[in-house]
């Protein structure tokens, strides 16, 4: 290395050679005071009406996306449960039916940042399908996308209802080509917090692009009355490098930071939580200022743990129950803090 | 324009300006047609928009990172979000950047001195552009005090060493023609080393900078233009000397050409010093300044080598020294305030072309009376390159 190379390296952003770390003392020319001074400075607040941006990561601009462009709003999606239509079968059993359409749709996942998503019913995550244990379920699936898709449910069902390419094509199932449709039909079992997603190859792409949703089977006798919400932890690889750029619950990064979830003090809160983040092996949910009861997969009525954090691999899910005894603003976020600062952060506003 | 109308004997001819303008008018018509009617089959491009952003400059202030980016792709680019070390931060200065346009993004961020940062710019299409900061350091404010410091730096590394090197002139005067030839060869070797070094450096800077304005082609363009301009100037000076009946070796003229070549070289060097200092990548220890001084002193020797057999006034000598050394001050100012890879590439090219022209000018004086280079010449060439290489080591150590 000659002097000009040394100088040129330093002169160009992103080009400085490793040796510069040794050449430039860390106290440098500007003294060690710079760091302490710098750390006291924070980004300016984004203004009234939003959670304060002053002390943590946040999006630029208005801080939020155009929900009407997306056709769904995380604030509404949170407490939206799709119970479908029901009728009695001969013998008195309930048949519950839904229509689910796969369609290609561009969505805004961060203010100003658009992503060519694949959706169930035009939203990401897809509709939260909810039913009761023992019911007969029929999901009329129409593939209006330009790509083949399926609905693969986590649950107990026969192989040809599995939404698995190569299995059940002879009965109209398996891979559903564009323009085709199929009725998935099975019994609601076991009760718990489940999910569904597309299972067409390449699988990672079909999931990462948004084809997933929560599937809740209530126990026969139901659960205690509560303020219920569904949180699907997800992320988007907007630059297609097999790593995610934006993390969130229910698609829009920082959505519940910008518009905190309102909770009534002491009321039982029940969260149906699932991890659908592709490309990263684990995700987590951590609650500030409180603990919750953890029901893994929701398949037991007895909690296994009283904690303030759950860690989930992909497709893992659970039910969380908690009460907030004190009013105030409580953060919840992925405690893989990288995800938190890339969008997976929200607040409960207890009053 | 009256061209072509003054001769009434000749058959009527179209005026020259019309002959020149007609193809241009046709071209304008064709462009207008393509724009209005739409080029059939050519208007649509396949695929997603091409988003290419280059980070030209990184400015660090306490609690703030400012990036100057240039759109070097064919489509507009809109920076919507910015993350620093995997955390989104609100920033100002975003929005659409047109083709070849630039924008400065200001990110409030509590960075820490000496640590590395990775900034990702997320565009409206979801694409990312990375800017790496290898060792964070505060960028000095460009105020009179700082410009004064840069001037002092330029004088240290440019003017003073060159002036010291020129003090070998009395010794040269006493030397015989054999030694003078050897010294001229030494100068050529030294300049050749600088030229090749500047070429590599210029290509590196240009390769890392935006390509939309030409990239590495700018270095070569600069070299060709400066070579031709100096050749033109030299031809002009020669013909004037001939008309004035001047005799003898054009020693001062040659020395001035060498000084111009070295001056352009020192301009590029000053720019790199100034920008490296601004980027916090350069510690101005006394060792470094001493290294530059020794390295550049040889440049002073190169300037006076053609003057061994001429009489030159002190004023003219001072002028030569300033032409060669002062551009380092100017370069340090440019580098500290408006570092731009495309501009720096052109300036490097100018230096390279000037050095090439200077070598061409000096070469006749290097040859022996028999017209063939001898051992003195080859030895001088090799020694010149080696000395430049060896003194260069003082700065990179």
Contact between residue B291 and residue B155 where contact means Cβ atoms under 8 Å apart: no
What percent of chain B shows pLDDT beyond 90? 21
Instruction: Report the pLDDT value the prediction gives residue A139, as an integer from 0 to 100.
Output: 98
> B295 — contact with chain A (CB < 8 Å)?
yes
Query: pTM of the predicted model, to two decimals?
Result: 0.74
Instruction: Report the pLDDT value the prediction gives residue B372, as an integer from 0 to 100.
Output: 74
Contacts of B390 in chain A (CB under 8 A): none
Fold that domain B53-133 belongs to in CATH: Immunoglobulin-like (2.60.40)
pLDDT over 90 at B81, yes or no = yes
> B185 — contact with chain A (CB < 8 Å)?
no
Interface mutation target, options B78, B109, B126, B387, chain A, most CBs of A under 10 Å: B126
pLDDT over 70 at B88, yes or no = yes
- A284/B33 Cα distance (integer angstroms): 60
Interface mutation target, options A11, A16, A36, A64, chain B, most CBs of B under 10 Å: A11
Instruction: Report the pLDDT value the prediction gives residue B73, as an integer from 0 to 100.
Output: 81
> B51 — contact with chain A (CB < 8 Å)?
no
> B123 — contact with chain A (CB < 8 Å)?
yes
Contact between residue A18 and residue A6 where contact means Cβ atoms under 8 Å apart: no
Instruction: Report the pLDDT value the prediction gives residue A63, as an integer from 0 to 100.
Output: 62
- The beta-carbon neighbor of A8 closest among B86, B272, B392 is B272
Instruction: Report the pLDDT value the prediction gives residue B335, as an integer from 0 to 100.
Output: 79
- Chain A closest CA to B298's CA: distance in Å? 16
Residue A2 lies inside a defined structural domain of this protein: no
Terminal-to-terminal C-alpha distance of chain B: 66
Instruction: Report the pLDDT value the prediction gives residue B387, as an integer from 0 to 100.
Output: 85
- Contact call for B204 and A8, based on CB within 8 A: yes
pLDDT in tens, B259-270: 888 888 788 778
- Chain A closest CA to B134's CA: distance in Å? 6
Instruction: Report the pLDDT value the prediction gives residue A2, as an integer from 0 to 100.
Output: 39
* CA nearest to B390 within chain A: A2
Task: State the average pLDDT over residues B341-359.
Answer: 83
- The beta-carbon neighbor of B272 closest among A11, A34, A245 is A11
- The beta-carbon neighbor of A112 closest among B80, B112, B138 is B80
- Of A251, A240, A331, whose CA–CA distance to A64 is shortest? A251
User: What letter would DSSP give residue B31?
Assistant: H
Instruction: Report the pLDDT value the prediction gives residue A188, as an integer from 0 to 100.
Output: 97
Strand pairing of A94-110 and A85-88?
A: antiparallel
Contacts of B352 in chain A (CB under 8 A): none
Question: Band of the pLDDT at B177, cuts 50, 70, 90?
Answer: confident
Sign of the alpha-carbon torsion through A114, A115, A120, A126: negative
Contact between residue A82 and residue A98 where contact means Cβ atoms under 8 Å apart: yes
- Contact call for A8 and B63, based on CB within 8 A: no
Q: What are phi and psi of B118, to 5 degrees?
A: -125, 115
pLDDT over 80 at B246, yes or no = no
Instruction: Report the pLDDT value the prediction gives residue A53, as an integer from 0 to 100.
Output: 45
What percent of chain B shows pLDDT beyond 70? 85
Task: Kindly report the three-state secondary structure assignment for every residue of B46-78.
Answer: CCCCCCCEEEEEEEEECCEEEEEEEECCCCCEE
Where is average pLDDT lowest: A265-269, A294-298, B34-38, B51-55?
B34-38
- The beta-carbon neighbor of B138 closest among A21, A30, A43 is A30
What average pLDDT does the structure give for chain B? 82
Interface mutation target, options A2, A9, A12, A258, chain B, most CBs of B under 10 Å: A12
Residue A58 lies inside a defined structural domain of this protein: no
> B101 — contact with chain A (CB < 8 Å)?
no
Contacts of B280 in chain A (CB under 8 A): 10, 24, 28-30
pLDDT over 50 at B298, yes or no = yes
What average pLDDT does the structure give for chain A? 86
* CA nearest to B55 within chain A: A13
- More reliable by pLDDT, A24 or B43: B43
B 221-280 → A contacts, CB under 8 A: 269, 271-273, 275-276, 279-280
Residue A311 lies inside a defined structural domain of this protein: yes
Can you spell out the DSSP letters for A29-47?
Answer: TT-THHHHHHHT--PPP--
- Contact call for B134 and A7, based on CB within 8 A: no
- Contact call for B90 and A3, based on CB within 8 A: no
Instruction: Report the pLDDT value the prediction gives residue A142, as an integer from 0 to 100.
Output: 97
Q: How many CB atoms lie within 10 A of CB B126?
A: 23
- Of B226, B231, B233, B304, whose CA–CA distance to B267 is shortest? B226
Beta pairing partners, B70: B54, B102
Contact between residue B5 and residue B15 where contact means Cβ atoms under 8 Å apart: yes
The CA–CA distances, whole Å, from A116 to A105, A148, A239, A314, B48 equal 6, 16, 11, 22, 11
- A85/A101 Cα distance (integer angstroms): 16
* CA nearest to B119 within chain A: A14
- Contact call for B128 and A245, based on CB within 8 A: yes
- Chain A closest CA to B241's CA: distance in Å? 39
- Chain B closest CA to A112's CA: distance in Å? 5
Q: Please report, for the domain that includes residue A291, its CATH number.
A: 2.60.40.420
Instruction: Report the pLDDT value the prediction gives residue B7, as an integer from 0 to 100.
Output: 52
Contacts of A43 in chain B (CB under 8 A): 89-90, 107-109
- Chain A closest CA to B81's CA: distance in Å? 6
* CA nearest to A21 within chain B: B135
* CA nearest to A116 within chain B: B125
Residue A56 lies inside a defined structural domain of this protein: no
Instruction: Report the pLDDT value the prediction gives residue B280, as an integer from 0 to 100.
Output: 56
Contacts of A336 in chain B (CB under 8 A): none
Task: State the average pLDDT over residues B58-85.
Answer: 91
Burial environment of residue A17 by CB neighbours within 10 A (0 to 12, 13 to 18, 19 or more):
middle
pLDDT in tens, A304-350: 999 999 999 999 999 999 999 999 999 999 999 899 999 999 999 99
* CA nearest to A108 within chain B: B124
Contact between residue B362 and residue B254 where contact means Cβ atoms under 8 Å apart: yes
Task: State the average pLDDT over residues B152-161.
Answer: 86
ipTM of the complex: 0.80
- More reliable by pLDDT, B349 or B3: B349
- More reliable by pLDDT, A161 or B204: A161
* CA nearest to A20 within chain B: B281
Q: Which residues in chain A land under pLDDT 70?
A: 1-55, 62-63
- The beta-carbon neighbor of A12 closest among B63, B87, B208 is B208
Interface mutation target, options A1, A3, A40, A110, chain B, most CBs of B under 10 Å: A3
Contact between residue B282 and residue B276 where contact means Cβ atoms under 8 Å apart: yes
Instruction: Report the pLDDT value the prediction gives residue A196, as an integer from 0 to 100.
Output: 98
Please report where in the chains the tokens 């299972």 appear, as a residue: A199
Element (H, E) at B381: helix B375-396
Instruction: Report the pLDDT value the prediction gives residue B289, as an integer from 0 to 100.
Output: 61
- B341/A302 Cα distance (integer angstroms): 65
Can you spell out the DSSP letters for A163-189?
Answer: --TTSSGGGT-SSB-TT-EEEEEEE--
* CA nearest to A52 within chain B: B90
Instruction: Report the pLDDT value the prediction gives residue A46, as an integer from 0 to 100.
Output: 35
| Total domains present in chain A | 1
- More reliable by pLDDT, B194 or A339: A339
- Contact call for B113 and A30, based on CB within 8 A: yes
- The beta-carbon neighbor of B125 closest among A3, A35, A114 is A114
Question: Band of the pLDDT at B89, cuts 50, 70, 90?
Answer: very high
- Of A199, A205, A207, A269, whose CA–CA distance to A234 is shortest? A207
Q: What are phi and psi of A44, to 5 degrees?
A: -65, 150
Contacts of A27 in chain B (CB under 8 A): 113
Sign of the alpha-carbon torsion through B185, B191, B194, B198: negative
Burial environment of residue B374 by CB neighbours within 10 A (0 to 12, 13 to 18, 19 or more):
middle
| Domain regions of chain B by residue span | 1-44, 53-133, 144-396
- A208/A119 Cα distance (integer angstroms): 11
Instruction: Report the pLDDT value the prediction gives residue A207, as an integer from 0 to 100.
Output: 96
- Contact call for B135 and A24, based on CB within 8 A: yes
pLDDT in tens, A189-242: 999 999 999 999 999 999 999 999 999 999 999 999 999 999 999 999 999 999
């Amino acid at each position: 290395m000659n002097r000009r190379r040394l100088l040129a390296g330093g002169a160009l952003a992103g080009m400085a050679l490793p040796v510069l770390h040794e050449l430039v003392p860390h106290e440098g020319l500007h003294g060690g005071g710079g760091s302490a001074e710098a750390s006291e400075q924070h980004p300016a607040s984004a203004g009234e009406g939003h959670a304060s941006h002053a002390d943590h990561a946040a999006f630029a601009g208005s801080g939020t996306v155009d929900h009407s462009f997306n056709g769904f709003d995380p604030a509404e999606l949170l407490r939206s449960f799709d119970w479908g239509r029901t009728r009695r079968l001969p013998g008195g059993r309930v048949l519950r039916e839904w229509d689910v359409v796969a369609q290609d749709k561009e969505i805004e996942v961060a203010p100003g940042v658009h992503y060519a998503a694949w959706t169930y019913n035009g939203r990401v995550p897809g509709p939260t399908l909810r039913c009761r244990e023992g019911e007969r379920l029929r999901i009329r699936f129409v593939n209006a996308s330009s790509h083949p898709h399926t609905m693969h449910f986590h649950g107990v069902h026969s192989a040809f209802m599995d939404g698995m390419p190569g299995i059940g094509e002879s009965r109209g199932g398996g891979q559903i080509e564009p323009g085709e449709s199929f009725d998935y039909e099975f019994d609601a079992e076991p009760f718990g917090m489940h999910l569904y997603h597309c299972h067409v190859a390449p699988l990672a792409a079909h999931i990462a692009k948004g084809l997933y949703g929560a599937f809740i089977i209530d126990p026969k006798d139901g659960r205690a009355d509560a303020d219920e919400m569904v949180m699907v932890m997800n992320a988007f690889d907007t630059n297609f490098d097999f790593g995610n750029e934006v993390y969130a619950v229910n698609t829009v990064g920082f959505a519940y930071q910008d518009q905190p979830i309102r909770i009534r003090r002491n009321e039982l809160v029940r969260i149906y939580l699932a991890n659908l983040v592709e490309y990263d092996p684990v995700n987590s949910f951590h609650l500030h200022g409180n603990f919750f009861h953890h029901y893994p997969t929701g398949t037991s009525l007895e909690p296994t743990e009283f904690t303030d954090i759950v860690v989930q691999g992909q497709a893992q899910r659970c039910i969380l129950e908690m009460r907030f005894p004190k009013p105030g603003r409580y953060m919840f976020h992925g405690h893989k803090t990288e995800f938190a600062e890339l969008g997976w952060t929200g607040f409960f506003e207890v009053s | 324009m009256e061209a072509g109308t003054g001769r009434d004997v000749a058959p009527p001819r179209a005026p020259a300006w019309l002959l020149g303008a007609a193809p241009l008018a046709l071209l304008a018509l064709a462009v207008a047609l393509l724009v209005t009617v739409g080029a059939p089959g050519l208007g649509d491009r396949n695929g997603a928009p091409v988003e290419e952003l280059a980070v030209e400059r990184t400015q660090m202030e306490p609690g703030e990172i400012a990036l100057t980016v240039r759109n070097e792709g064919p489509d507009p680019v809109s920076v919507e979000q910015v993350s620093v070390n995997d955390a989104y931060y609100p920033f100002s200065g975003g929005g659409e950047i047109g083709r070849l346009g630039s924008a400065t993004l200001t990110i409030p961020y509590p960075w820490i001195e000496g640590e590395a940062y990775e900034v990702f710019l997320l565009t409206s299409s979801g694409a990312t552009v990375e800017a790496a900061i290898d060792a964070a350091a505060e960028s000095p404010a460009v105020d009179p005090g700082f410009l004064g410091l840069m001037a002092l730096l330029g004088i240290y590394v440019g003017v003073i060493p060159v002036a010291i090197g020129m003090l070998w002139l009395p010794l040269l005067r006493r030397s015989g023609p054999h030694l003078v030839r050897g010294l001229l060869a030494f100068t050529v070797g030294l300049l050749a080393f600088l030229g090749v070094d500047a070429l590599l450096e210029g290509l590196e800077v240009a390769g890392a900078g935006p390509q939309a304005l030409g990239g590495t082609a700018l270095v070569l363009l600069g070299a060709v233009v400066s070579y031709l301009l100096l050749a033109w100037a030299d031809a002009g000076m020669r013909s004037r000397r001939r008309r004035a009946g001047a005799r003898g070796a054009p020693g001062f003229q040659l020395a001035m050409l060498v000084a111009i070549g070295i001056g352009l070289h020192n301009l590029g060097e000053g720019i790199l010093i100034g920008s490296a200092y601004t980027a916090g990548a350069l510690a101005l220890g006394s060792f470094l300044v001493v290294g530059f001084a020794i390295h550049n002193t040889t440049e002073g020797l190169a300037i006076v080598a053609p003057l061994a057999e001429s009489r030159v006034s002190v004023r003219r000598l001072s002028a030569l020294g300033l032409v060669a050394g002062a551009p380092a001050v100017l370069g340090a100012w440019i580098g500290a305030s408006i570092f731009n890879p495309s501009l720096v590439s052109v300036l490097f090219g100018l230096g390279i072309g000037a050095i090439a022209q200077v070598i061409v000018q000096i070469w006749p004086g290097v040859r022996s009376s028999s017209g063939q280079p001898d051992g003195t010449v080859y030895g001088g060439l090799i020694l010149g390159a080696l000395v430049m290489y060896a003194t260069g080591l003082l700065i990179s150590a």
